[in-house]
Amino acid sequence: MNPEKFVLELSKHNFELTDKQKQQFKLYFKMLIEVNEHVNLTRITEEDEVYLKHFYDSITPLFTFGAVFKDGATLCDVGAGAGFPSIPLKILKPGLKVTIVDSLQKRLNFLKDLISELGLTDVELVHGRAEDVGQNKLYRERFDIVTARAVARMSVLSEYCLPLVKKDGYFVALKGPKAEDELDDGKKALEVLGGKLIKDEELTLPESEEERTLVLVQKVKSTPKKYPRQAGTPRRKPIH
């Protein structure tokens, strides 16, 4: 998917990119590739692949759960790595107030430079592990939307993300193909942490065989204080 195709696909979903937005994606690609030479940000480096598997992939929730991403909504992206999905979402929806949580300072340094170069405002970077941030009262149950892409299985991911979602807010997980087993496996965790599965939607990225699953969870009650448990525990002992 070259940049022109990218623009065309977005217009099919009623997103007409401005010249500024096109330029922001172009600059994002350039910086990603440059910094990736000395900081491990991505294995995907071909322009067509980056536009499809990073940029387009990151914004699919806007097509599927668009009503959730209201202007002025607060969004926390857990384990964003090189900024996916939050930075592409922010480029398309500049009114979002974004907080990015990542445990690796090198990635946050890249994001700090990126945010500055792209001229983005209302983006906060938080250095820490999701488990610690979820227990920090500055962030706990503070966000309208929490996103995560390819971070962990649903049973583990729910414990990273749901404690950060405010009541009646949403957790949006961007998963790979055939996430049914994962969703079954993660049912108990969702319930314990105060989440309710609203919808899971399968899709295939344009002009490819790449399958994805988007999961929308609503926070229906507060997360018990003991969650998230201490760093490393959710992965070692998922809630079952």
Annotated binding site for S-adenosyl-L-methionine: 79, 84, 130-131, 149
Please, are residues 162 and 219 in contact by the beta-carbon 8 Å criterion?
yes
Q: Residues annotated in the binding site, as ranges?
A: 79, 84, 130-131, 149
